């Protein structure tokens, strides 16, 4: 047993313990007030309740006073109980594709770890790049970003997670305490997030946004146009991310040579790759191939679950082998977040918030662009990025007509920031997966993520104002 | 006899411990002196364990006599009422495995001392402490280890009878960095899980502070790391094993760290009076109270057959040391509710009457903690404090 003794005065410890019940009482009072107060003009009763639930869940998620998954379960209870959505609709939302995609990704990751393949890959990566803490960090950061250009960032995070986890274990980093452990998992999460906005393939949000644009205006955005417009932003964000992380979490690991020697010995001690490793690697390779080339048609979740079925059909894993790798807490959390996002959308609460914040006072194209990108980047922290697009884009396209801004440009202003979710684990599965390592706390992520959001928003708007006109993408129609 | 101590129970206690007691009544002598001294209650609830078998007691001026239905101690010039402390009934019972409870546990006033093993490897390496305080009856090469179940049965018997409610677990020296807490861990864990009682632990000072954290987390309410002798040179001569394997500095560091972890008044250390000059003992008292530990001052009593032959000090010389102890603990505001009512040593609370004219009675707080409700309150507060302060980390579990 490893223990720590808190030597602060007893009255301080008692006061801190008393804060928790007080916190719940205040939160409950705020919630009841928000539910009971007269609904503001333009907001339905259901929308008002959805906002109340959203605020309570956001506070609980951020404060981590209860486990993230339990907050989500609370949302699942409150949404139908307060009549925001029907019971049937609420529970059906839990069957969302994203939830099953994450489940499949966890099982795949479990199989890789159980077969020993991730250990082998981790040892090889460390052996090759682990000459210094800096190069190791950079290799993970850039690898995550590059892979997210060509496949879903969620899948990249799921694939790299066991490798980074093994590297952290190999270095003997203490979860929750080691700055270098934090750096490695931030590099994984933020690498995926930044890389994920680089192309259409990084996630489902851009195809969804283009679909809405096309339905509303008949216009579209081409793959190359998008890449040329957004790629410089990716470069800037990668630089900013690396700079910020290394300043925020100064590495306590000055030298990885001792770990390197141990890892080299371990590498030598490895047997030849087993059939299981080859087979699991093959299934993983086929899954990645399918995600890249058939992801849009077949769906990421369907491909992930098919891979899981393959693993079991080929008897590469047994349920009890991978059960411990499935983080049900994250799955519950993500399901709850989707339900909450949908509740905000369908109750009209999200639209009311947009109208309230933007209203009629914003009439300049750059201002509209800035406001929508700001709303998008902050709403995506608490909601599914697809839901952010579903909420903001119809309103935005309507507004574009009114202020003579290109609807395609406005689509960028929402679709790109919707992918830049740096702050919370519920913002995107990449963050959730990184937090599930226990090396990063929600507080760590919120602190660094907020600055990244601000940098991303400012950079994005500067690129829109000064770079995009150079490539023929002005604000005007 | 230079001074007359018969009227002051605190001074009389010290004098009796130094000089011993003659017992005229052959029946009482046979009954009481069959044990390690005789426990007698003096006025003002002053409990004392008095030697009565040793050679030096034959010259004692103190005699126990029958007086009416009870007893009195007289020095020829005066007398004081004395009550023979009843032998605990559980001493005559046995564990389910047939071990007499009296072999496992010994009641010393408010505490019951239990040594699951009397082995001490200092003896096996011939580096035992020369005085061999014998407060634990430790010895070498003894392979007897009482099982957790036997100790738990003993504690149950002790608590059922309502004597010596503070359980005092101790062990001798063994190799390792933990000081002995790993050996005591299952006993401590079992006692804390099964009974609502306070437990003090005496081990050698561990070499790493994490063992002190663990001792607290496991449920120890009080801890003793005995320095025994403050003078550096005498420490090395008299305690060669301790000096070589632990060292005086580490012992002092461990006490200082423990005093930060454990509550006020629950970290204690023996300084044996009579093995070093009184001035040195006083310096030790100042040091220990300065770091927040309670000095406990047992009196050196030569034992037959022991290598160390030092003439014991006289009461006249010792009394100022005890007065200094009382002043030091009160000045440093060290709680006196833990170290009290011990038959083998004179506690600071008992010295109050010698120093403080108004303080012949225990304070309300001390009286409260002596009561049944007080003991329960002490247990509850100690458990709550531990619950608040102990944090398990990396696969650990919260203590208690």
Q: Are residues B283 and B381 in the same domain?
A: yes
The ipTM estimated for the assembled molecules is: 0.77
pLDDT at B395 over 90: no
pLDDT at B137 over 60: no
**Is A12 in the B-facing interface, judged by CB distances under 8 Å?**
no
Across the interface, do A14 and B213 touch by the CB < 8 Å criterion?
no
The torsion region of residue A83 among left (phi > 0), alpha (psi -120 to 50) and beta comes to left
Q: Are residues B248 and B302 in the same domain?
A: yes
Could you tell me which residues come within 8 angstroms of residue A72 by beta carbon, excluding any fewer than 6 positions away? A57, A332, A333, A334, A335, A336, A337, A339, A340, A426
Residues of B in contact with A4 (CB under 8 A): 213, 390-393
Q: Are residues B219 and B292 in the same domain?
A: yes
**Is B29 in the A-facing interface, judged by CB distances under 8 Å?**
no
Closest residue to B396, CB basis, from A3, A10, A17: A3
**Share above pLDDT 90 across residues of chain A, in percent, rounded to a whole number:** 29
pLDDT at A226 over 50: yes
Question: Of B224, B231, B234, B235, which Cα lies nearest the Cα of B259?
Answer: B224
Three-state DSSP class for A185?
helix
Q: What φ, ψ does residue B52 adopt, rounded to 5°?
A: -145, 0
- B55-76 mean pLDDT: 87
**Is A20 in the B-facing interface, judged by CB distances under 8 Å?**
no
Could you tell me which residues come within 8 angstroms of residue B227 by beta carbon, excluding any fewer than 6 positions away? B235, B248, B251, B252, B255, B269, B270, B271, B284, B288
Residue B317 lies in a domain: yes
Q: Are residues B143 and B19 in the same domain?
A: no
pLDDT at A106 over 80: no
Q: To the nearest whole number, what is the mean pLDDT of chain B?
A: 84
Q: What is the pLDDT of residues A278-336, one digit of tens each?
A: 999 899 889 878 866 776 677 767 888 999 999 999 999 999 888 877 778 767 876 77
pLDDT at B135 over 50: no
pLDDT at B151 over 80: yes
The residue from B84, B109, B126 where one domain ends is: B84
Q: What is the pLDDT of residue B136?
A: 42
Q: What is the pLDDT of residue A466?
A: 92
**Is A10 in the B-facing interface, judged by CB distances under 8 Å?**
yes
Closest residue to B214, CB basis, from A1, A7, A10: A1
Q: What tokens were used for B354?
A: 């010698």
Q: What is the pLDDT of residue B274?
A: 87
Alpha carbon distances (Å) from A88 to A331, A347, A350, A378, B274 = 19, 16, 22, 29, 84
Residue B397 lies in a domain: no
Q: What is the pLDDT of residue A477?
A: 54
Q: Are residues B115 and B215 in the same domain?
A: yes
Min Cα–Cα distance to chain B from A252, Å: 19
Domain locations along chain A: 97-204+223-328
Report the distance separating Cα A47 and Cα A36, nearest Å. 13
Residue B4 lies in a domain: no
Question: Of A57, A50, A55, which Cα lies nearest the Cα of A73?
Answer: A57
Q: Are residues B145 and B31 in the same domain?
A: no
Q: To the nearest whole number, what is the mean pLDDT of chain A?
A: 83
Alpha carbon distances (Å) from B321 to A36, B87, B268, B279 = 73, 32, 17, 8
Q: How confident is the model at residue A80 (pLDDT cuts 50, 70, 90)?
A: very high
Report the distance separating Cα B46 and Cα A78, nearest Å. 66
Residue B203 lies in a domain: yes
- B167-182 mean pLDDT: 86
Q: What is the pLDDT of residue A191?
A: 94
Across the interface, do A2 and B389 touch by the CB < 8 Å criterion?
no
Q: How many domains does chain B have?
A: 2
Helix axes A117-129, A257-269, angle to 10 degrees: 140
Could you tell me which residues come within 8 angstroms of residue B78 by beta carbon, excluding any fewer than 6 positions away? B4, B6, B7
Could you tell me which residues come within 8 angstroms of residue B361 by beta carbon, excluding any fewer than 6 positions away? none
Could you tell me which residues come within 8 angstroms of residue B305 by beta carbon, excluding any fewer than 6 positions away? none
Residues of B in contact with A1 (CB under 8 A): 214, 217, 392, 396-397, 399
Q: What is the pLDDT of residue B370?
A: 76
Q: Are residues B46 and B117 in the same domain?
A: no
Which CATH number covers residue B263? 3.20.20.70
- A93-119 mean pLDDT: 77
Could you tell me which residues come within 8 angstroms of residue A50 by beta carbon, excluding any fewer than 6 positions away? A79, A84, A340, A343, A344, A347, A349
Across the interface, do B397 and A5 touch by the CB < 8 Å criterion?
no
- Give which of B393, B397, B399 to mutate to test A binding, by max A Cβ within 10 Å: B393
Q: What is the pLDDT of residues A17-35, one digit of tens each?
A: 888 899 999 999 999 999 9
Across the interface, do A3 and B260 touch by the CB < 8 Å criterion?
no
Q: What is the pLDDT of residue B399?
A: 31
pLDDT at B359 over 60: no
Q: Are residues B206 and B311 in the same domain?
A: yes
Residue range of the domain that includes B25: 9-84
**Is B126 in the A-facing interface, judged by CB distances under 8 Å?**
no
Q: Are residues B235 and B301 in the same domain?
A: yes
**Share above pLDDT 70 across residues of chain A, in percent, rounded to a whole number:** 88
Report the distance separating Cα A230 and Cα A437, nearest Å. 30
Residues of A in contact with B213 (CB under 8 A): 3-5
Q: What tokens were used for B296?
A: 């406990």
Residue B399 lies in a domain: no
What is the edge-to-edge ordering of all strands in the sheet holding B22-23?
A: B22-23, B63-67, B70-74, B79-84, B38-42, B46-50
Residues of B in contact with A17 (CB under 8 A): 388
Closest residue to B393, CB basis, from A3, A7, A14: A3
Helix axes B181-194, B148-161, angle to 10 degrees: 50
Q: What tokens were used for A398?
A: 């309507």
Min Cα–Cα distance to chain B from A468, Å: 50
The residue from B84, B114, B140 where one domain ends is: B84
Residue B395 lies in a domain: no
Q: Are residues B117 and B75 in the same domain?
A: no
Lowest-confidence region among A125-129, B30-34, B176-180, B300-304: B30-34
- A157-176 mean pLDDT: 81
Give the residue with greater pLDDT, B105 vs B131.
B105
pLDDT at B397 over 50: no
Q: What φ, ψ does residue A426 adopt, rounded to 5°?
A: -80, -5
User: Beta partners for B199?
Assistant: B167
Lowest-confidence region among A268-272, B17-21, B124-128, B284-288: B124-128
Q: What is the pLDDT of residue A390?
A: 67
Residue B283 lies in a domain: yes
Residue B281 lies in a domain: yes
Q: What is the pLDDT of residue B133?
A: 46
């Amino acid at each position: 047993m490893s223990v720590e003794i808190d030597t602060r005065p007893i009255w301080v410890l008692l006061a801190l313990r008393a804060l928790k019940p007080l916190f719940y009482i205040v939160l409950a009072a705020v919630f009841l007030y928000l539910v009971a107060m007269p609904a503001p003009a333009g907001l339905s009763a259901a929308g008002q309740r959805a906002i109340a639930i959203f605020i309570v869940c956001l506070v609980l998620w951020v404060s981590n006073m209860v486990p993230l998954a339990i907050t989500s379960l609370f949302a699942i209870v409150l949404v139908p109980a307060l009549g925001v959505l029907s019971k049937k609709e609420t529970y059906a939302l839990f069957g969302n594709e994203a939830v099953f995609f994450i489940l499949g990704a966890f099982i795949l990751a479990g199989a890789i770890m159980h077969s020993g393949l991730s250990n082998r890959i981790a040892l090889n990566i460390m052996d090759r790049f682990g000459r210094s803490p800096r190069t190791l960090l950079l290799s993970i950061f850039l690898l995550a970003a590059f892979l997210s250009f060509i496949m879903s960032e969620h899948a990249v995070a799921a694939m790299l997670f066991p490798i980074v986890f093994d590297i952290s274990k190999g270095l003997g980093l203490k979860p929750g305490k080691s700055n270098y452990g934090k750096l490695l998992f931030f590099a994984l999460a933020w690498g995926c997030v930044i890389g994920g906005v680089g192309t259409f393939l990084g996630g489902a949000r851009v195809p969804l946004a283009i679909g809405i644009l096309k339905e509303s205006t008949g216009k579209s955005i081409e793959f190359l146009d998008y890449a040329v417009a957004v790629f410089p932003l990716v470069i800037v964000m990668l630089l900013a991310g690396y700079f910020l992380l290394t300043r925020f979490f100064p590495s306590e690991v000055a030298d990885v040579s001792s770990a390197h020697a141990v890892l080299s010995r371990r590498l030598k001690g490895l047997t030849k790759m087993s059939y299981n490793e080859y087979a699991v690697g093959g299934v993983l390779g086929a899954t990645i191939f399918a995600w890249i080339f058939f992801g849009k048609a077949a769906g990421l979740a369907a491909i992930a679950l098919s891979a899981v079925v393959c693993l079991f059909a080929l008897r590469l894993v047994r349920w009890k082998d991978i059960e411990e790798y499935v983080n049900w807490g994250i799955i519950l959390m993500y399901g709850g977040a989707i339900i909450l996002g949908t509740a905000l959308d369908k109750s009209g609460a999200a639209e009311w918030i947009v109208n309230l914040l933007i209203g009629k006072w914003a009439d300049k194209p750059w201002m509209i662009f800035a406001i929508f990108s700001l709303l998008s980047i902050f709403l995506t922290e608490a909601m599914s990025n697809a839901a952010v697009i579903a909420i903001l884009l119809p309103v935005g396209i309507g507004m574009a007509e009114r202020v003579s801004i290109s609807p395609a440009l406005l689509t960028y202003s929402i679709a790109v920031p919707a992918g830049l979710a740096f702050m919370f684990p519920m913002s995107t599965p990449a963050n959730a997966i990184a937090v599930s390592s226990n090396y990063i706390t929600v507080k760590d992520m919120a602190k660094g993520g907020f600055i990244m959001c601000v940098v991303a928003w400012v950079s994005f708007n500067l690129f829109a104002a000064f770079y995009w006109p150079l490539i023929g993408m002005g604000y005007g129609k | 006899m230079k001074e007359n101590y018969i009227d002051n129970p605190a001074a009389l206690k010290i004098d009796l411990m130094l000089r011993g007691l003659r017992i005229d009544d052959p029946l009482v002598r046979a009954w009481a002196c069959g044990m390690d001294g005789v426990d007698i209650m003096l006025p003002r609830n002053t409990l004392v364990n008095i030697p009565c078998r040793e050679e030096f007691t034959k010259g004692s001026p103190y005699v126990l006599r029958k007086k009416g239905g009870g007893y009195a101690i007289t020095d020829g010039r005066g007398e004081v009422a004395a009550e023979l402390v009843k032998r605990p009934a559980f001493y005559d019972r046995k564990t389910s495995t047939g071990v007499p409870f009296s072999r496992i546990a010994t009641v010393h006033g408010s505490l019951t001392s239990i040594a699951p093993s009397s082995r001490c490897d200092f003896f096996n390496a011939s580096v035992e402490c020369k005085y061999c305080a014998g407060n634990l009856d430790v010895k070498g090469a003894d392979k007897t280890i009482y099982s957790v179940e036997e100790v738990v049965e003993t504690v149950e018997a002790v608590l059922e009878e309502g004597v010596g409610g503070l359980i005092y677990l101790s062990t001798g020296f063994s190799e390792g960095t933990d000081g002995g807490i790993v050996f005591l861990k299952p006993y401590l864990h079992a006692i804390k899980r099964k009974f609502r009682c306070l437990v003090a632990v005496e081990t050698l000072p561990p070499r790493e502070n994490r063992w002190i954290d663990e001792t607290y987390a496991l449920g120890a309410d009080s801890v003793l790391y005995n320095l025994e002798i403050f003078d550096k040179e005498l420490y090395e001569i008299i305690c060669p094993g301790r000096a070589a394997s632990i060292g005086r500095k580490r012992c002092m560091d461990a006490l200082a760290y423990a005093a930060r972890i454990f509550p006020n008044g629950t970290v204690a250390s023996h300084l044996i009076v009579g093995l070093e000059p009184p001035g040195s003992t006083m310096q030790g008292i100042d040091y220990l109270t300065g770091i927040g530990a309670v000095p406990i001052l047992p009196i050196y009593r030569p034992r037959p057959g022991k290598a160390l032959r030092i003439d014991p000090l006289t009461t006249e010389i010792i009394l100022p040391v005890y007065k200094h102890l009382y002043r030091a603990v009160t000045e440093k505001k060290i709680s006196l509710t833990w170290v009290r009512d011990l038959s083998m040593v004179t506690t600071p609370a008992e010295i109050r009457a010698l120093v403080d004219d108004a303080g012949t009675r225990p304070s309300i707080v001390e009286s409260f903690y002596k009561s049944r409700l007080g003991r329960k309150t002490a247990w509850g507060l100690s458990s709550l404090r531990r619950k608040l302060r102990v944090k398990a980390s990396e696969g650990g579990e919260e203590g208690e």
